[in-house]
Amino acid sequence: MLVTNKTGDARIGHCRICNAQIAPFMSFGRMPIANGFLKPDEIESEYFFELAPAFCDACGMFQLIEQPQPEKMFHQQYAFYSSTSRYMQRHFEAFAHAVINGPLAGRADPFVVELGSNDGIMLQHFQRCGLRHLGVEPSANVADMARNRGISTVTTFFNSKLAADISAEHGSADAILAANVMCHIPDLPGVAAGVQRLLKSDGIFVFEDPYLGDMIAKTSYDQIYDEHVFIFSATSVRRAFAPFGLELVDVAPQVTHGGSMRYTLAPKGSRKASESVDQQLTKEAVLGLDRAETYLKFKTNCESSRIGLTQTLERLRGQGKRIVGYGATSKSTTVINYCKITPEQIEFISDTTPIKQGRLSPGAHIPVRPYGEFLERYPDYALLFAWNHAAEIREKETGFVAAGGRWIVYVPEIAIVS
Ligand code: TYD
């Protein structure tokens, strides 16, 4: 059953993949758009929805029961620019070269399509090698940035019709790539049909997304926000793409986004599956990713994490300490609103992304300030919202720690570290 709430957004009672009946196992409460950094005059019209995940017993897909309409999340003012992290730049360079030197090696005039190509962080490497490429990116501001760098990009959502149009204009694709995108798309079967249509019979489809196993193991519930309508596992990906003739032939864990998985799929029978697939499926069964009770335990862990973080912030505030948030991440929106963190607890959130600076955080309305303000006057504590970049950040912020500053972290557990 698909019902719509007052604003017309879809709230489902059946799995988006296999149509079995599903129900949320917990709720994070009313949530704003994770990347919806706003100006003070936009507070009145701020949009909220219920952030509640469900696990499908039948096919193993972890999903939100309600997701705002895509236009509310991906638009002209989309606040997420992939190229802000040096580490991510290196990651995508390595991803691109693994494809160029791996499956594309020796192919005559290969054609590569990237779904959700953002500002061209990955496609630029194909462009530099003179390879035919096309980015599909619905958010106009980041797509413009890619085009300005000479990267072929169309500003639209990917579906089966677009797959046919691309195929007619450029021919079938040797490789279709996506990073942190597939988990955004509620009509995953529609995209799978498009991939099936666009891919050559010996082509490959490679995508990576935050990994369910890491989220459960680390209680990193902040991966759950509006854009992430799915959190994938090898088990759920394998089942979701099988009806479209696409077989899971490789999996490779990644450290990005606090723990991701790269999935390689190919038309059924076209490639031998690597041993990593069976190994990962076995690991997931051992972890209990296919069992409802795992998610009830996860719910308890989320509640404990919330209590721990709230108590830590209150204790430090009681001691008159200055606390600043570090990194106005999408993920922080879930933490801030679920834990009901206020501007009285967190003075501001430091962020290097110009479009977020001078705005207010979604829901709690904590000011987002340029990174320079963090450097100018170090706080006593910095709450590490960009924990997925911890290595890069802690390497950069030795001055903060030398000045007596301490980090508050909440993944995998609440801790104060120097
Ligand atoms: P990101 O890691 O992409 O997380 P999410 O997917 O949850 O949005 O976002 C990182 C954010 O943190 C981005 O707004 C830039 C900011 N940031 C800093 O302010 N300083 C830094 O050193 C780094 C690495 C990121």
Residue 170 has pLDDT above 90, yes or no: yes
Cβ atoms 387, 363 nearer than 8 A: no
Degrees to nearest 5, angle at CA 237 with 55 and 167: 130
DSSP state of 274: P
SS3 category, 266: strand
Ligand 1 shell residues, CB under 6 Å: 80, 84-85, 327-331, 351-353, 356, 371, 386, 388-389, 392-393
Across 64-82, average pLDDT: 72
Across 348-357, average pLDDT: 95
Strands, DSSP E only, in 255-365?
260-267, 323-326, 349-351
Q: Rounded to an integer, what distance in angstroms lies between the CA atom of residue 9 and that of residue 315?
A: 39
Confidence of residue 7 (pLDDT cuts 50, 70, 90): very low
Cβ atoms 346, 243 nearer than 8 A: no
Cα of 351 from ligand 1 centre, angstroms: 7
Cα of 86 from ligand 1 centre, angstroms: 11
Among 296, 394, 295, smallest CA distance to 409 is for: 394
Among 310, 406, 316, 319, smallest CA distance to 364 is for: 310
Q: Rounded to an integer, what distance in angstroms lies between the CA atom of residue 130 and that of residue 4?
A: 46
Q: Which numbered atom of ligand 1 lies nearest the CA of 393?
A: 22
Cβ atoms 182, 188 nearer than 8 A: yes
pLDDT tens by residue, 294-322: 999 999 999 999 999 999 999 999 999 99
Q: Which numbered atom of ligand 1 lies nearest the CA of 84?
A: 15
Among 124, 113, 115, 131, smallest CA distance to 89 is for: 124
Distances (CA, A) of 293 to 29, 54, 121, 123, 283: 21, 12, 39, 41, 17
User: In 177-291, which residue ranges form alpha helices assigned H by DSSP?
Assistant: 188-198, 212-218, 234-241, 275-287
Across 329-343, average pLDDT: 97
Phi, psi of 390 (to 5 degrees): -55, -45
Confidence of residue 12 (pLDDT cuts 50, 70, 90): confident
Q: Which numbered atom of ligand 1 lies nearest the CA of 385?
A: 12
Residue 23 has pLDDT above 90, yes or no: yes
Across 392-407, average pLDDT: 96
Q: Rounded to an integer, what distance in angstroms lies between the CA atom of residue 184 and that of residue 214?
A: 18
Q: Which residue did the predictor score with more confidence, 391 or 310?
A: 310
Q: Rounded to an integer, what distance in angstroms lies between the CA atom of residue 104 and that of residue 111?
A: 9
pLDDT tens by residue, 120-165: 999 999 999 999 999 999 989 889 999 999 999 999 999 999 999 9
Q: Which numbered atom of ligand 1 lies nearest the CA of 331?
A: 7
Cα of 212 from ligand 1 centre, angstroms: 21
Share the mean pLDDT of the chain. Answer: 93
Cα of 359 from ligand 1 centre, angstroms: 15
Across 339-352, average pLDDT: 97
pLDDT tens by residue, 24-46: 999 999 999 999 999 999 999 99
Number of helices (H), then strands (E), in the chain: 14, 21
Residue 167 has pLDDT above 80, yes or no: yes
> Which residue's CA is the closest to the ligand 1 atom numbered 24?
85
Quote the pLDDT of residue 2: 39
Quote the pLDDT of residue 209: 97
Cα of 147 from ligand 1 centre, angstroms: 23
Ligand 1: residue of 33, 85, 118 to mutate (most ligand atoms within 8 A of CB) is 85
Q: Rounded to an integer, what distance in angstroms lies between the CA atom of residue 364 and that of residue 362?
A: 6
Quote the pLDDT of residue 88: 85
Q: Rounded to an integer, what distance in angstroms lies between the CA atom of residue 233 and that of residue 239?
A: 10
Cα of 418 from ligand 1 centre, angstroms: 20
Examine residue 362 and say whether the peptide bond preceding it is cis (omega within 30 degrees of 0).
Answer: no
pLDDT tens by residue, 188-197: 999 999 999 9
Q: Which residue did the predictor score with more confidence, 330 or 67?
A: 330
pLDDT tens by residue, 248-297: 999 999 999 999 999 999 999 999 999 999 999 999 999 999 999 999 99
Q: Which residue did the predictor score with more confidence, 414 or 7?
A: 414
Quote the pLDDT of residue 71: 73
Residue 75 has pLDDT above 80, yes or no: no
Residue 402 has pLDDT above 50, yes or no: yes
Q: Rounded to an integer, what distance in angstroms lies between the CA atom of residue 139 and that of residue 80?
A: 10
